[in-house]
Amino acid sequence: MRAVCGRLKSDYSYSNTIVYNNFPWPVVTEKNREQIEKSAQEILKARTLYPNSNLAALYDPLTMPAELRRAHTANDKAVMALVQK
């Protein structure tokens, strides 16, 4: 992030087209890609269970919904399995 994002004063300026799209993904197979996509969809699905909550409320470490936490944990494990290969 420090290498590719900009700054405004001393704060980092995040951009979805520069910072996050440069994540160094390993070579993935179609099966692995489908697994990551499925786990990402589960995160979005869990968020829809709470339509009146904003992201700050959903991602508060003390009150994060269990469904959302499980979906993120599954996604993290799927990504780490690819990185560790």
How confident is the model at residue 14, as a pLDDT? 67
Q: Where are the beta strands (DSSP E) in the chain?
A: 6-8, 11-13
Q: What is the largest CA-CA distance in the chain?
A: 43
Q: Where are the domains of the chain?
A: 28-83
Encode the chain (85 residues) as per-residue pLDDT tens digits: 566 667 777 776 766 666 666 566 666 788 888 888 999 999 999 999 999 999 999 999 999 999 999 999 999 998 888 877 6
Q: CA-to-CA distance for 32 and 77, rounded, in angstroms?
A: 12
pTM of the model: 0.69
